[in-house]
């Protein structure tokens, strides 16, 4: 174990719903859905653990949530309050380290390899942070402790709510081997289907494929899956990361005619990869960019912008397909295609997402 990093991932439990239950005792112990009107177009922002028992989850349309549990109490979000609590929590993190990378209001990575209090064990720090969050805010958090970001996040998710899970080098492989592939970073619904069709259901199954097989199936994501199935992740904790774009591209194994339907499938995969990463980073973008490189190495890019920032696989795909439909046929085969989402909006910095969310709720009222 040489110079192993000590990474903690902290994730608040049902953050918005827990704050609502904290501030309104009548909501405690009940299924609470924070989101829009149950009859409107809004989606569930967060719901309490009691609501999750009915199969309600975040991003689900409120109408569906209502169908699953008509007794659920629907509460409108109070983002100003959530933001305030988020700052309180952030201040606690900074007592230990300034290497804090927030993923959203309620989630962050901390690198405590070197920490301000010279505490030797990351687990000790995780315990102290959980305790202090509870004392200051009355809320519980789940913590994951490991030696990289991928594992720390899996660990915090492992035992919720109010959990503390440690993944050490010597138990990493058995942890990953037992993990359903849907839990792996970068595996969305489409990828999951591809893997299931190959009979791959767990991390163990994934690890049986060698890197060439993985790359032939998943192109540039193949190597990522190869590494993740072995618990390898070198990404640093980045405190002030401001991403300008999220892109994925692939050089085709053989040049393809523009009419070849394989291109559509490859584009679809690239859109999924971009969407997965955008969602993981909690970003949305206003502009999609299609890049095409022809057999003679000439390259074109085409872009379009939308009014409401997007991040879903479907939204990105719709726009990319539109761009692709309209590129000119210059009698050249295509050797590379790429998809980029840019003009990114970070929920954390601008609140535009929240602002628009509130606007959508407001418009429901009318």
Residues known to be catalytic: 107
Segment 100-119, which members bind Mg ion (CB under 5 A)?
A: 106
Q: How far is residue 62's CA from residue 45's CA, in Å, rounded to a whole number?
A: 9
Number of chain residues interacting with Mg ion (CB under 5 A): 3
Candidates 7, 8, 10, 11; binder of Mg ion (CB under 5 A) is 11
Residue 14 C-beta: closest distance to Mg ion, Å: 7
Q: Which stretch binds Mg ion (CB under 5 A): 7-15, 180-188, 256-264, 284-292?
A: 7-15
Q: Applying CB under 5 A, which part among 10-18, 152-160, 292-300, 319-327 lies near Mg ion?
A: 10-18
Give the nearest distance from C-beta 59 to Mg ion in angstroms: 13
Smaller CB separation from Mg ion, 139 or 206: 139
Shortest distance, CB of residue 100 to Mg ion, whole angstroms? Answer: 16
Stretch that binds Mg ion, among 49-57, 71-79, 99-107, 224-232 (CB under 5 A): 99-107
Smaller CB separation from Mg ion, 11 or 347:
11
Task: Show the binding pattern over residues 223-262: x = contacts Mg ion (CB under 5 A), - = does not.
Answer: ----------------------------------------
Report residue 56: phi and psi, to 5°.
-85, 140
Closest CA to 274 of 211, 325, 341: 341
In this structure, what are the phi and psi dihedrals at residue 151, rounded to the nearest 5 degrees?
Answer: -70, -35
- Please name the residues in contact with 360: beta carbons below 8 A apart, sequence gap of 6 or more: 36, 41, 42
Q: Are 90 and 108 in contact (CB under 8 A)?
A: yes
| Interface stretch with Mg ion, choices 8-16, 182-190, 197-205, 267-275 (CB under 5 A) | 8-16
Cα separation, 326 vs 293, in Å, equals 15
Subset of 333-362 contacting Mg ion (CB under 5 A):
none
Query: Between residues 164 and 288, which has the closer beta carbon with respect to Mg ion?
Result: 164
Q: Distance (Å, rounded) from C-alpha 298 to C-alpha 177? A: 44
Closest CA to 269 of 324, 338, 345, 179: 338
How far apart (Å, rounded) are the C-alpha atoms in residues 26 and 21? 7
CB of 249 to Mg ion, least distance (A): 32
- Report how far residue 194's alpha carbon sits from residue 17's, in angstroms, rounded to the nearest whole number: 35
Angle separating helix axes 122-137 and 79-96, nearest 10 degrees: 140
Nearer to Mg ion, 43 or 258 (CB): 43
Chain contacts with Mg ion (rule: CB under 5 A): 11-12, 106
């Amino acid at each position: 174990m040489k110079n192993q990093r000590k990474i903690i991932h902290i994730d608040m439990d049902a953050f918005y719903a827990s704050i609502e239950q904290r501030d309104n005792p009548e909501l405690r112990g009940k299924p609470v859905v924070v989101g829009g009107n149950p009859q409107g177009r809004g989606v569930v922002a967060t719901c309490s653990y009691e609501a999750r028992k009915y199969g309600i989850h975040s991003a689900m349309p409120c109408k569906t949530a209502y169908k699953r549990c008509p007794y659920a109490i629907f509460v409108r979000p109070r983002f100003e309050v959530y933001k305030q609590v988020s700052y309180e929590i952030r201040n606690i993190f900074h007592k230990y380290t300034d290497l804090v990378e927030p993923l959203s209001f309620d989630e962050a990575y901390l690198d405590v390899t070197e920490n301000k209090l010279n505490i030797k064990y990351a687990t000790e720090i995780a315990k102290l942070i959980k305790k202090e969050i509870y004392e200051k805010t009355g809320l519980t958090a789940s913590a994951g402790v490991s030696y990289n970001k991928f594992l720390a996040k899996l660990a915090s998710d492992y035992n919720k709510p109010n959990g503390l899970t440690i993944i050490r080098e010597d138990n990493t492989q058995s942890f990953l081997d037992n993990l359903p592939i849907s839990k792996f970073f970068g595996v969305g619904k489409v990828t999951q289907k591809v893997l299931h069709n190959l009979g791959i259901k767990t991390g163990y199954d994934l690890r049986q494929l060698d890197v060439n097989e993985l790359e032939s199936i998943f192109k540039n994501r193949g190597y990522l899956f190869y590494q993740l199935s072995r618990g390898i992740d070198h990404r640093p904790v980045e405190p002030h990361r401001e991403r300008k774009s999220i892109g994925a591209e692939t050089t085709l194994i053989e040049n393809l005619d523009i009419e070849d339907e394989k291109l559509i499938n490859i584009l679809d995969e690239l859109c999924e990869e971009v969407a997965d990463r955008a969602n993981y980073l909690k970003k949305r973008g206003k502009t999609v960019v299609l890049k095409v490189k022809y057999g003679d190495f000439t390259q074109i890019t085409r872009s379009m912008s939308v009014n409401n920032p997007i991040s879903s696989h479907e939204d990105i795909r719709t726009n990319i397909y539109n761009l692709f439909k309209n590129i000119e046929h210059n009698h050249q085969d295509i050797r590379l295609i790429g998809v980029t989402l840019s003009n990114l909006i970070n929920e954390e910095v601008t609140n535009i997402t929240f602002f628009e969310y509130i606007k959508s709720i407001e418009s429901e009222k009318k």
